[in-house]
């Protein structure tokens, strides 16, 4: 007997959500035991402790005509003649201790400049790279914001800052894991080649940001360390307190807050400016210094004292192009999710035999509806100002204007103008005192 009912089954497959905007990395050069170009996921501080490079014991420090020669108990891994920042601690006399620009002179030796002789080293100490200390500070400050979002370490391999920039650019060109945010060390951010890498990633469609700490406020203010980044959308610069402990990295606190965004109808994206941060000592800045920093897009950690709130918070909340970070975050969100939603609609529409998606007016209407639904989500997620309408050129008009596109399956007729939501920066209220009863 033939079947009375025949069932035709088609499949609609949902897209996996993008995690790019929740994925960031601490960049280090020799701060870990990882091989160059590799990454490790940190879900808590102990994950970093397990992969940190061990301090190397010194066996000899000898001063001679303004130069200290240091011999270590094991190889330091620095290529011969390369220079980088190194930290000596625990030595007596204490004048040998500090952060110095060191030059590799051998497998176990390096030199650094020191004007006056401290005398004979009677107690030996240890050596670590500045990059390792920066890495510890990044992780310490990041996880002080909570453990709700993991972060990666990206090991570039020990070497000069310029070599680090080159290695970072090479990784970004062919990433094992694409990162939305990079927190970079003092040496890398100060290198003369780094602003060019940031500029190369500052187009409106580039979805990557570099979180940079600076610490050079003087009177008058010296902008040498952040001046080269002025106007660069991809640079998020945070001024660090001069009194900050070596375990503090304010840029990591700001990066943590941005990576913790996970927009949804019940978890709206909030303005970055005035967001609370934790475990960070704010800098002491005059009103004039704050005005100068804000005018060029530099951020800093302040308090809610004006609202009689003592909790530390992010001041300014901008990229170095003077746009609020949320402006570009919202733009990136639309960029990422529009591509996913429309691609998924076309793929699923090609697997629906009962109502396939074709290049005709009905197909254009369907794609317009998909794009509009996405923008509506952006509104409900606290990313986009309402109203926001997706426009589509009709099939007849588009084909008349672009007759060859139909044969190629190309339709470039969707468009939308949207305004990212932003928070308040300054409020004025006008008060009038009157002795006239109402």
User: CA-CA distances (angstroms) from residue 343 to 263, 338, 340, 355?
Assistant: 21, 8, 5, 17
**CATH class for the region spanning 56-130:** mainly beta
Predicted confidence at residue 376, as pLDDT, reads 97
Q: Rounded to a whole number, what is the largest CA-CA distance in the chain?
A: 105
Q: Are 154 and 26 in contact (CB under 8 A)?
A: yes
Q: Are 58 and 78 in contact (CB under 8 A)?
A: no
The C-alpha atoms of residue 171 and residue 165 are separated, in whole angstroms, by 10
DSSP-based three-state secondary structure for 85: strand
Predicted confidence at residue 221, as pLDDT, reads 47
Write out the E strands in 135-175: 151-155
Predicted confidence at residue 107, as pLDDT, reads 95
What are the backbone dihedrals phi and psi of residue 169, each rounded to the nearest 5 degrees, phi first? -60, -40
The C-alpha atoms of residue 396 and residue 231 are separated, in whole angstroms, by 43
Q: What are the residue ranges spanned by the domains of the chain?
A: 20-43+132-326, 56-130, 327-416
The C-alpha atoms of residue 111 and residue 100 are separated, in whole angstroms, by 9
CATH fit for domain 20-43+132-326, picks 3.40.50, 1.10.10, 2.40.128, 2.30.29: 3.40.50
**Number of DSSP helices (H) and strands (E) in the chain, helices first:** 11, 16
Number of CB atoms found within 10 A of residue 165's CB: 24
How does 224-249 read in b/e, with b if 16+ C-beta sit within 10 Å?
ebbebbbebbbbbbbbbbeebeeebb
- pLDDT tens, position by position, 415-437: 999 999 999 988 999 999 999 98
Whole-model pTM over 0.75: yes
- pLDDT tens, position by position, 330-342: 999 999 999 999 9
- pLDDT tens, position by position, 20-69: 999 999 999 999 999 999 999 999 999 999 999 999 999 999 999 999 99
């Amino acid at each position: 007997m033939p079947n009375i009912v025949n069932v035709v089954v088609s499949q609609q497959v949902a897209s996996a959500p993008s995690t790019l905007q929740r994925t960031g990395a601490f960049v280090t050069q020799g701060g870990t035991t990882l091989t160059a170009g590799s990454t490790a996921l940190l879900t808590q501080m102990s994950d970093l402790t397990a992969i940190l490079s061990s301090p190397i014991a010194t066996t000899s420090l000898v001063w001679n005509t303004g130069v200290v020669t240091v011999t270590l108990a094991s190889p330091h891994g620095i290529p011969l003649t390369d220079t980088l920042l190194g930290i000596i601690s625990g030595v007596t006399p204490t004048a040998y201790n500090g952060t110095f620009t060191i030059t590799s002179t051998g497998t176990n030796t390096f030199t650094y400049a020191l004007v006056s002789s401290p005398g004979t080293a009677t107690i030996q100490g240890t050596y670590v790279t500045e990059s390792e200390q920066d890495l510890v500070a990044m992780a310490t400050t990041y996880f002080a914001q909570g453990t709700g979002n993991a972060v990666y370490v990206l090991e570039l391999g020990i070497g000069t800052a310029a070599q680090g920039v080159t290695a970072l650019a090479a990784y970004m060109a062919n990433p094992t894991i694409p990162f939305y945010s990079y927190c970079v060390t003092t040496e890398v951010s100060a290198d003369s080649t780094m602003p060019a890498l940031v500029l190369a990633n500052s187009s409106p469609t580039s979805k990557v940001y570099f979180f940079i700490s600076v610490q050079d406020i003087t009177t008058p203010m010296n902008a040498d360390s952040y001046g080269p980044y002025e106007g660069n959308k991809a640079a998020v610069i945070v001024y660090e307190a001069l009194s900050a402990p070596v375990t503090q990295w304010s840029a990591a606190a700001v990066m943590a807050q941005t990576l913790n965004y996970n927009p949804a109808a019940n978890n709206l994206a909030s303005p970055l400016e005035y967001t609370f941060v934790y475990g960070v000592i704010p800098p002491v800045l005059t009103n004039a210094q704050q005005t100068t920093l804000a005018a060029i897009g530099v951020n800093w950690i302040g308090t809610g004292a004006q609202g009689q709130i003592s909790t530390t918070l992010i001041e300014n909340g901008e990229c170095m192009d003077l746009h609020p970070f949320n402006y570009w975050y919202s733009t990136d969100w639309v960029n990422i999710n529009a591509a996913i939603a429309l691609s998924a609609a076309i793929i699923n529409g090609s697997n629906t035999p009962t109502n396939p998606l074709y290049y005709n007016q009905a197909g254009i209407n369907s794609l317009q509806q998909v794009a509009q639904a996405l923008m509506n989500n952006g509104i409900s997620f606290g990313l986009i100002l309402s109203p926001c309408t997706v426009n589509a050129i009709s099939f007849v008009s588009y084909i008349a204007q672009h007759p060859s596109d139909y044969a190629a399956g190309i339709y470039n007729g969707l468009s939308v103008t949207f305004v990212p939501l932003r928070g308040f920066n300054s409020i004025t209220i006008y008060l009038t005192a009157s002795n006239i009863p109402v």
